Amino acid sequence: MADLPPLGSEYRRLPSEVVDMAEVVTGWSGEEQDNVVELRGRVTSAPTERELPSGSSITTFRLSVGRARTAMTTGSKQSADWVDCSAWSARARRSVGSWQVGDEVEVSGALRRRYFRSGDGSGTRLEVEVIGARRARARVKARATAHE
């Protein structure tokens, strides 16, 4: 994903923003421009790989994405939204597998409603299917002090 704009000072001023990744995303078929999601945010739950009853492997994680001020959000004290994401392809799972909580990342994909059954019955989940992903900036680790 080397074609993405470099992370300059304009990114550091904003906690998150939408990044145009449509030109570098692969893996689309059909009318790809009808359902395109591009997010930049912080990982808030570590990526977890699991196997579904169907035999498919997926990696799921959650992003915190800063809210822009719009007519809908004016007056709200909430400054971010949390977005569930899932990586289904082997390439996408490899891309997100080493991410840690606090990493700033960019993902592109499509909005999906997934249906599932569990012990409590059936349900649905709205999430972003990750097609392309990259770590924009790793979490800054606190320095160890001499007193530890």
pLDDT over threshold 50, residue 119: yes
**Sign (positive/negative) of CA torsion 104, 108, 112, 114?**
negative
Where residue 146 falls among pLDDT bands split at 50, 70, 90? Answer: low
Here the CATH number for the domain that contains residue 52 is: 2.40.50.140
Q: Is 101 contained in some domain? A: yes
Q: What is the pLDDT of residues 34-79, one digit of tens each?
A: 899 999 999 999 999 999 888 999 999 999 999 888 888 888 888 8
Q: Is 75 contained in some domain? A: yes
Overall domain count for the chain: 1
Where residue 23 falls among pLDDT bands split at 50, 70, 90? Answer: very low
* Contact by Cβ (8 Å): 50, 21: no
| Alpha-carbon 113 to chain mean position | 16
Q: Is 4 contained in some domain? A: no
Q: Is 114 contained in some domain? A: yes
Q: Residue 86 carries which side chain, given as an amino acid letter?
A: S
Q: Is 78 contained in some domain? A: yes
Q: What is the pLDDT of residues 74-97, one digit of tens each?
A: 888 888 999 999 999 999 999 999
Q: Is 3 contained in some domain? A: no
pLDDT of residue 67: 86
Q: What's the predicted TM-score (pTM) here?
A: 0.69
> Which residue's structure tokens are 């990744």?
21
Give the range of the structural domain holding residue 48, as residue numbers without chain letter.
9-26+33-137
Q: Classify the phi-psi angles of 65: left when phi > 0, otherwise alpha if psi is within -120 to 50, otherwise beta.
A: beta
Q: Is 69 contained in some domain? A: yes
Beta bridge partner(s), residue 121: 118
Q: Classify the phi-psi angles of 105: left when phi > 0, otherwise alpha if psi is within -120 to 50, otherwise beta.
A: beta
Q: Is 148 contained in some domain? A: no
CB atoms near residue 135 (< 10 Å): 17
- Quick one: average pLDDT of 129-148? 75
